[in-house]
Chains A and B, each alone.
Chain A
Amino acid sequence: KAGVTQTPRYLIKTRGQQVTLSCSPISGHRSVSWYQQTPGQGLQFLFEYFSETQRNKGNFPGRFSGRQFSNSRSEMNVSTLELGDSALYLCASSLEAGGPYEQYFGPGTRLTVT
Chain B
Amino acid sequence: AQSVTQLDSQVPVFEEAPVELRCNYSSSVSVYLFWYVQYPNQGLQLLLKYLSGSTLVKGINGFEAEFNKSQTSFHLRKPSVHISDTAEYFCAVSDFTGGGNKLTFGTGTQLKVEL
A48 and B99 CA atoms in complex are apart in Å by 10
A62 and B102 CA atoms in complex are apart in Å by 19
With A43-B90, A43-B105 in contact, do A98 and B100 touch (Cβ < 8 Å)?
yes
List the A residue with the shortest CB-CB distance to B90.
A43
B106 / chain A contacts, CB cutoff of 8 Å: 42
Q: How many residues of A contact B (CB 8 A)?
A: 28
Give how many A-B residue pairs fall within 8 Å (CB-CB): 74
B49 / chain A contacts, CB cutoff of 8 Å: 100, 102
Q: Is A26 an interface residue (CB 8 A)?
A: no
Give the segment of B13-21, B37-45, B65-73, B74-82 that binds chain A.
Answer: B37-45
> When the two chains form their complex, are residues A101 and B43 in contact, meaning their CB atoms are under 8 A apart?
no
> When the two chains form their complex, are residues B94 and A99 in contact, meaning their CB atoms are under 8 A apart?
yes
> When the two chains form their complex, are residues B102 and A105 in contact, meaning their CB atoms are under 8 A apart?
no
Give the A-binding residues of B (Cβ under 8 A).
32, 36, 41-46, 49, 51, 90, 92, 94, 96, 98-108
Extra pairs beyond A42-B108, A43-B108 (5, CB < 8 Å): A43-B90, A99-B100, A100-B32, A100-B94, A105-B44
